Amino acid sequence: MSFTERVRDLTRLAFQLGNNWMTLAGAAMTTSSAFVLVWFWFMEITSPRSIHPYMGIILFLILPALFLVGLALIPLGIIRLRRQRKLAGETPLPLQAVDFKQPGVRRLLTVVGVLTFINVSILGTAGLKGVEYMDSNQFCGLTCHTVMSPEYTAFLDSPHSRVGCAQCHIGHGAPALVRAKISGSRQLFAVAFGTFSRPIPSPVEHLRPARETCEQCHWPQKFTNDKLIVRTKFAEDEANTASTSILLLKIGGHTPNGTTGIHGRHLDAMERISYITTDARRQEIPKVTYRDDNGQLVEYVTDDFKKLPKETVDKATVRKMDCIDCHNRPTHAFQLPDRALDKAMAEKRMSAELPFLKKQALELLKVDYADQKAAAAKIPVALAEYYRTTYPEIYKQKRAQVDTAGEVVKAIYLRNVFPEMKITWGTHPNNIGHEESVGCFRCHDGNHTAADGRSIKGDCDTCHTILAQDEKDPKILKDFGMK
């Protein structure tokens, strides 16, 4: 049979077989979802408003799926019809000669060709849009509202709030994308059936190495000067007494004379540091391997390490140090109540003139509320009640300040505690310092020593120069012109 004849037969069959309900329904589904999709893409281009995440599910995932199902129904209907005819013992189909010279047949072929072209374009665009949507912050952060709400809330209040979830969590390249989509489908099931863990575990397994995520935007070799940190704390006394610490953090990096400081010493072209850890959160680090400037490998171990059973050591995770070992909460940084209150008072978002404010606020933040709604309802009322009964005069004079403080304390709670996801104060420790969690002292505790007597330094001026520690009114702030 020649090619033309084969095409001729096919066309004829399509013509006759298209006349069944399944094929027709498929054609209707495909056509109508195509119209809605195209209309929506047009709206998306012309209107500046962003879409609601649930709307996104319909537009980017369900409609394209309907479109595809419709496309599939068209041939399925035909197959079914053929089988029915065969079973009924009818002649499969009366074959009539189709004459390509007939204008009707030529027109039909053109229509089929054009429709196929449009379908392929729609499918391609829908695929691209779907992937793009599934990578959007809205999809990641809002669709499974309760599940992601802690991470999303902290993310919005961070230096990375304009960086996409996918840029840190998925990284670049097709393999990363495919793997993320596969594990994403598993997660969708977990959400649909409520089987996800509360809280979502951290560290994230299979998080891409920092080289493929953070380092797409940050340049690790960049030299950063000492960074000035000014931190004011408020005591839990009647006057909320303030004291300030000031330090210069030696961030460092690469200099003409080699690598220095916090960044320079751990990260280098030659990957200096790896370690083993015995707990899931990487808080216990009994052994650190370091390549020093002479290229010599130094093994720093703790006293405990020598006592660990061999199978624990064999099972321990080995990890090359990268950005995330210090910056484990670059965007989902949950605060502790003490520091969050200090910050609010130092920034004068709530008045340190209210007696015992720090102490009262701390107590209210540490109560076990059933959920965020209960906390939001109770915190401001309880604070107002405290001043109304204990300091009625002050309550009368400073009513507005008490109300503001109530709202600020409530906001601190809602920003950091998510009873629905079992996230409370300190669930996700931040490794960047040493005051709120062990952090740097996981290694820099003076207890990690090498066979030759060297140890990982732990003295206070290794990482920062302390210019003032817990001073009432540090003179140096005046010298800097900061007061």
- Least distance in angstroms from the C-beta of 334 to ligand HEC: 8
Instruction: Give the DSSP H/E element, type plus range, for residue 478.
Output: helix 475-479
C-alpha–C-alpha distance, residues 409 and 29, integer Å: 53
What is the closest distance, in whole angstroms, from the C-beta atom of residue 261 to ligand HEC in the complex? 5
Q: Which is nearer to ligand HEC, 85 or 160 (CB)?
A: 160
Q: Which of 82, 160, 179, 359 binds ligand HEC (CB under 6 A)?
A: 160
Q: How far is the CB of 311 from ligand HEC (least distance, A)?
A: 22
Stretch that binds ligand HEC, among 6-14, 40-48, 162-170, 364-372 (CB under 6 A): 162-170
- Smallest distance from ligand HEC to CB 158, Å: 8
Question: With binding defined as CB under 6 A, does residue 20 bind ligand HEC?
Answer: no
Residue (237 or 470) nearer to ligand HEC, CB = 470
Nearer to ligand HEC, 116 or 255 (CB): 255
DSSP-assigned letters across all residues of 39-103: HHHHHHHH--PPPPHHHHIIIIIIHHHHHHHHHHHHHHHHHHHHHHHHHTT--S-------TTSH
> In this complex, which beta carbon is closest to ligand HEC, that of residue 178 or of residue 280?
280
* 172 makes contact with ligand HEC (CB under 6 A): no
3-class state of residue 273 by DSSP:
strand
Closest distance between ligand HEC and the C-beta of residue 98, in Å? 57
Whole-number Å distance between alpha carbons of 69 and 428: 44
Neighbours of 255 (CB within 10 A): 11
Residue among 169 and 388 whose Cβ is closer to ligand HEC? 169
Among 81, 180, 316, 323, binds ligand HEC (CB under 6 A): 323
Token pair in block for residue 450:
């090498």
Residue 99 or 303 having the CB closest to ligand HEC: 303
Least distance from ligand HEC to the Cβ atom of residue 46, Å: 27
Count of other CB atoms within 10 angstroms of residue 207: 16
CA–CA separation, 142 and 307 (whole Å) = 47
Which of 432, 476 has the CB closer to ligand HEC?
432
Binding-site string for ligand HEC from residue 264 to residue 293, where x marks contact by CB under 6 A and - marks none = -xxx-----x-x---------x--x-x-x-
Instruction: Pick one of 30, 136, 302, 328: the residue that binds ligand HEC (CB under 6 A).
Output: 328
Applying CB under 6 A, among 19, 185, 390, 469 the residue interacting with ligand HEC is: 469
Calpha distance 232→168 (Å, rounded): 32
Contact present, 126 and 64 (Cβ < 8 Å): yes
- 12 or 442: CB nearest ligand HEC: 442
Q: Is 383 exposed, middle or buried (0-12, 13-18, 19+ CB in 10 A)?
A: buried
To the nearest 10°, report the CA torsion of 237, 242, 248, 253: 60
Q: Measured between alpha carbons, how far is 175 from 150 in angstroms, rounded to an integer?
A: 28
Q: How far is the CB of 157 from ligand HEC (least distance, A)?
A: 11
CA distance 236 to 373: 27
List the alpha helices (DSSP H) in 135-173: 137-142, 145-156, 165-169
User: For ligand HEC, which is the closer residue by CB, 33 or 431?
Assistant: 431
Q: Residue 104 or 209: which CB sits closer to ligand HEC?
A: 209
Using CB under 6 A, which residues numbered 178 to 197 contact ligand HEC?
A: none
Shortest spacing between CB 87 and ligand HEC, in angstroms? 53
Q: Which is nearer to ligand HEC, 136 or 360 (CB)?
A: 136
Question: What span, in angstroms and rounded, lies between the C-alpha atoms of 309 and 407?
Answer: 52
Question: Does the footprint of ligand HEC cover residue 464 (CB under 6 A)?
Answer: yes
Of 165 and 405, nearer to ligand HEC (C-beta) is 165
Rounded to 5 degrees, what angle do the CA atoms 150, 423, 352 make? 85
Residues 411-450 that bind ligand HEC (CB under 6 A): 428, 432-435, 439-440, 442-444
Kindly state the helix (H) or strand (E) to which residue 243 belongs, with its residue range: strand 242-249
Residues 87-146 within binding reach of ligand HEC (CB under 6 A): 137, 140-141
Check if the beta carbon of residue 206 is closer than 8 Å to that of residue 238. Answer: no
The set of residues, in sequence order, having a beta carbon less than 8 Å from that of 232 and lying 6+ positions away, is 242, 243, 244, 342, 345, 346
The binder of ligand HEC chosen from 73, 148, 350, 354 (CB under 6 A) = 148
Phi/psi for 357 (5° steps) reads -60, -45
Query: Least distance from C-beta 141 to ligand HEC, angstroms?
Result: 4
Least distance (Å) from ligand HEC to the CB of residue 3?
52
Shortest Cβ 164–ligand HEC spacing (Å)? 6
255 alpha-carbon distance from chain centroid = 33
CB 123 to ligand HEC: min, Å: 28
Contacts (CB under 6 A) with ligand HEC, residues 206-265: 207, 210, 213-218, 220, 224, 227, 229, 231, 245, 247, 249-251, 261-263, 265
Nearest CA to 273 among 260, 254, 285, 290? 290
